[in-house]
Every structure is written in structure tokens, then in C-alpha cells.
Amino acid sequence: MPDLPDPPAGSPVPAGGAATPAGGEAAGVAPSGAPAADPASRALADAPEAGAFAARNGWDRPFPAFDDFDLPLYVGSTTFQKLPLVADPAELQARGADVAIIGAPFDDAVSHRPGARLGPRAIRAANYTTGALNSLQLGVEPFAWLDVVDAGDVGIVPAWPERSHALIYRKVRDVASSGAIPIVLGGDHSITWPSATAVAEVRRPGRVGIVHFDAHADTANEDWGVLAGHGTPMRRLIESGAVLGRNFVQVGLRGYWPPVETFAWMKAQGMRWHLMREIEERGAEAVVADAIAEALDGGEAIYLSLDIDVIDPGMAPGTGTPEPGGLLTREVLRAIRQVVGAVELAGMDVVEVSPPYDHAEQTAMAAHRAVLEALSALAVRKSRGGVVRFEAARPAG
Ligand SMILES: [Mn+2]
């Protein structure tokens, strides 16, 4: 905190402690209503000069001003870390930003608890530090190296999933086409279908691998007959040709879903997955290292999809389909540093944060830090002369 400047000479803090309210009893008002003759009088005229009370109470001191960027996160602008809002694709293109945060406040496709539509706003607000952040784990100030902006939310309306998915696809494509890395805040996991499709289309279909952290495979053919549920996006990505099955790697699966026939389909696509049991036995770091190699087996860059329910619900309860027995928050944050530090990141999403089921913002904070860990790892890459932006990007259109 900056030091307050010294108060001006003759600081008008009332002598003798608390001020007596003006006009109060025994305030020394002359019977005629004329100004009191006594210089110590606390009385004011009926129409005091502007600022008279400020001077009396000490509110005319030259207090410091702060940029919005440095103010607390609960004050002022509601963008991610109070970063500049750059929603216009042409402006984004001209600016040449490294990363753009996008909100996808959509949860019409959930199978159980709703609420993830409120995720982007909660994630953006879930921090107590602002300004020039300093990553202690990576020893880098992410915003000193990266130009990060907030591209705003997709203009979603409720109960129109086809429109929502189309608009998510368009906005992510606009951002990716500008060369900036899109980091999308969900929203339920169905948003990964349009989001990763857009990134793969800009980068080159079939050349983007996916590392997908989740308790669930999300590779069902349909949820109660619906093809675009939050249990189906990974199958749509592979079926449509946006992503190859052999470059699609899942980490953290556990629980009692999906059924055996779905795993048979996944195997037939060449997909690879790492159960929670394997992480328990080998440790997260070794498993994530394998996942990176598998996703890059033919891929050039990686799209990272983080379903917050990969974290144990004891640490991340604010989610729609909680599955006990998951990763620790610290393991997930380390895994993100590991992935982003090792590969070219093409895009990322953080999904399934449902604030109504959260406690003490712990799930929103985990999601927020997941984004910061990715940004910090990108900053390390750039500080070492590495590539962050996608320079071969084609113009939006
Ligand atoms: Mn999921």
C-alpha cells in the first residue's frame, strides 16, 4: 500500500476528538443567527461554502488515486483481473494481444445440477490480488510479459442451445483468428464442442491435440436423445473431424459413468485416458507427462480443457456433477503449469463451475487460479523467447 501523503498544514481534524455535529446544542450559534464571534465555534452558516464539511472532517486531504487495474477486484470493472475489455475482433486483431479471456455463460446442456451459466462472472471475481501479479511458483510476473485482454462474454440467451453453441464457436474463432490464445470460462462442458472446434479450424483440423482433465469422459453419443449435451462434446469433436481420437487424452476419470460400450467406442477412435486409479498409483506428474506426449503424437499444439469436477468435490464443491475421489487443487494447478510449460497452447477452457453450489468461493478460486497458472506458464515461455501468439493466424471473417 502506498503511504498516504502528509496532511496539509493546519489539518482540519477537529481538535479534542470527535466533532460535535454542527448545529448541535451548545454549538455557539449567536442568537441573532450571525456567525459566531468565537473562533473556536463549530457552527456553520445556514449556507456553508462548498467543502466546508470536508475541511472540518479531514476529507479534503489529497488522498491518492488508483488506476482501476490496481483497485480491489470487487470494485469497478468486472473483467478478468480488470484487464482491458476488447470485445471487437478487429480491435483485437490490431492490438495483437497474446491471450483473450472469453466468458461462455451457458448451462442449458447440463444433466444434473445447473448453475454453470453463472461461472464466468464468479471466476472473474474470485481473487483478492490485483495489479501486476507475481507468480511465486514460476517466478514470473505474467502481465509484464503478456498482453492479456478480456474479450467479454458470448451474447447468450437462455433456452436456445443451438444459437449459444453457434455464437460460442464464432467468438472463439474470431479470437483465435486474431492470433490471441482464447481462454474460455464456462459454462457447462458442452461449450468445448464449439470452442475447441473453432481453435482446431483456425490452427488446422486434426493438428490440435486435446488434454482433457475431467472426472467424466464426456464421450457419450447422446444425453437422453440430445446430441449436444454436456456428456457428449468430446464425441462430437472427434466425429466431426475437428480433433483426431489419437490426439485426445483424458486425465482423472473415475466414478460410474460412462458405460462399457462408450469406452469401446473411445478405444476404437484411438483415444487414450488415464483413470484416477492410475494417478493414485503413479502420481499426477508422471501421468500428465504421458498425457502430453500422447496428445502431441501427431498434434502440433494443445487445447487444454479443464472440467473443474476433476478436482475432488471436497475442494471444489461448486459443480454440477460432483464425483468423490478426485485430484487435489494443487495437483491440478501443477498439472496446468506442466502442460502449458511443455507445449504450444492453442486454447483452453475452464468449465462446470456452478457458483450456487460453491462454498466460500473455493471452486471459483480454483478455476481462476487455473487460468493464472496457464498465463504464468505462457509468460515464462515468452520470457525465454518462445512463441505464445499464433502468428500464422488468418484474418477473421
Ligand atoms: Mn466434463
Q: Which tens digits make up the pLDDT trace of 99-130?
A: 999 999 999 999 999 999 999 999 999 999 99
pLDDT in tens, 264-299: 999 999 999 999 999 999 999 999 999 999 999 988
What is the residue whose three cell numbers read 498482453?
147
Confidence at residue 387, expressed as pLDDT on a 0 to 100 scale: 83
Query: What is the CA(390)–ligand 1 centre distance, in A?
Result: 27
Residue matched to cell numbers 481462454: 183
Is 32 within the bounds of a domain?
Answer: no
- Each residue of 177-222: pLDDT tens digit? 999 999 999 999 999 999 999 999 999 988 999 999 999 999 999 9
Crossing angle of helices 329-342/362-383, nearest 10°? 20
Q: In which band, very low, low, confident or very high, does the pLDDT at 305 lie, cut at 50, 70 and 90?
A: very high
Burial class (CB in 10 A: 0-12, 13-18, 19+), 220: buried
Centre of ligand 1 from the C-alpha of residue 369, in Å: 19
Average pLDDT over residues 66-73: 96
Instruction: Give the distance (Å) from ligand 1 centre to CA of residue 68.
Output: 35
Residue 169 lies in a domain: yes
**Ligand 1 centroid to residue 312 C-alpha, Å:** 14
**pLDDT band at 30; cut points 50, 70, 90:** very low
Helix or strand or coil: residue 202? helix
Please check whether residue 25 lies inside any domain of the structure: no
Question: H/E element holding 331?
Answer: helix 329-342
Percent of the chain past pLDDT 70, that is, above it, reads 87
Per-residue model confidence (pLDDT) at position 48: 81
Nine-digit cell string for 212: 482433457
In sequence order, which residues have a C-beta less than 8 Å from that of residue 84 and are 6 or more positions away?
A: 149, 150
Q: Is 53 part of any domain?
A: no
Q: How far apart are CA 329 and CA 333, in angstroms?
A: 6
Question: What spacing in Å lies between the alpha carbon of 217 and ligand 1's midpoint?
Answer: 7
Band the pLDDT of 383: cuts 50, 70, 90.
Answer: very high
Please tell me the total count of domains within the chain: 1
Amino acid at 55: A
Q: Which residues 6+ apart lie within 8 Å of 171 measured at CB?
A: 102, 151, 154
List the beta bridge partners of residue 351.
307
The mean pLDDT value for 59-63 works out to: 94
pLDDT at 134 > cutoff 90: yes
- Residue 189 belongs to a domain: yes
Q: 9: which 3 cell numbers?
A: 498544514
Dig out the grid coordinates for 348 from the structure. Answer: 483452453
Distance 95 CA to ligand 1 centre (A): 33
Contacts of 105 (CB under 8 A, 6+ apart): 117, 118, 119, 120, 121, 153, 154, 156, 187
Using CB atoms within 10 A of its CB, is residue 347 exposed (0-12), middle (13-18) or buried (19+)?
buried
Rounded to the nearest angstrom, the distance between the alpha carbon of 219 and the centre of ligand 1 is 9
Task: Give the distance (Å) from ligand 1 centre to CA of residue 255.
Answer: 13
Are 317 and 359 in contact, with CB atoms under 8 Å apart?
Answer: yes
Q: CATH number of the domain that 85 lies in?
A: 3.40.800.10
pLDDT at 366 over 60: yes
The predicted pLDDT at position 33 comes to 47
The span from the CA of 347 to the CA of 99, in Å, is 9
- Per-residue pLDDT, 12: 43
Q: Is the separation of the CB atoms in 214 and 252 below 8 Å?
A: yes
Distance (Å) from CA 305 to ligand 1 centroid: 9
pLDDT bucket at 46, cuts 50 / 70 / 90: confident
Kindly tell me if the per-residue pLDDT of 395 is higher than 60.
no
* The model scores a pTM over 0.85: yes
Residue 21 has pLDDT above 90, yes or no: no
Determine what percent of the chain is predicted with pLDDT higher than 90: 83
Cα(308) to centroid(ligand 1), Å? 8
For residue 279, report the distance from its CA to the centre of ligand 1, in Å.
18
**What spacing in Å lies between the alpha carbon of 133 and ligand 1's midpoint?**
30
If you measure from the C-alpha of residue 188 to the centroid of ligand 1, how many angstroms do you get, rounded to a whole number?
A: 8
pLDDT digits (tens, 9 = 90+) for 221-247: 999 999 999 999 999 999 999 999 999
Q: What is the pLDDT of residue 14?
A: 41
Query: What's the pLDDT at 381?
Result: 97
50 pLDDT band, cuts 50/70/90, is confident
Residue for grid cell 475482433: 89
The pLDDT, as a whole number, for residue 26 is 40
* CA 123 to centroid of ligand 1, rounded, Å: 17
Is 336 domain-assigned? yes
Give distance in angstroms: CA of 190 to centre of ligand 1. Answer: 8
Indicate whether 7 pLDDT > 70: no
Arithmetic mean of pLDDT, 158-173: 98
Ranges of beta strands (E only) in 232-290 are: 248-253, 272-275
Give residue 191 CA to ligand 1 midpoint distance, Å.
10
- What is the model's pLDDT at position 40? 53
The answer to whether residue 60 is domain-embedded is no
Residue 47 pLDDT: 78
Mean pLDDT on 168-184: 97
**Structural domain harbouring 376:** 68-383
Is position 125 within any domain? yes
d(CA 264, CA 244): 16
- Distance of CA 130 from the midpoint of ligand 1 (Å): 30
- Report the mean per-residue pLDDT for the chain: 90
**Which of these ranges, 22-26, 130-134, 272-276, has the smallest mean pLDDT?**
22-26
d(C-alpha 311, C-alpha 262), whole Å:
23
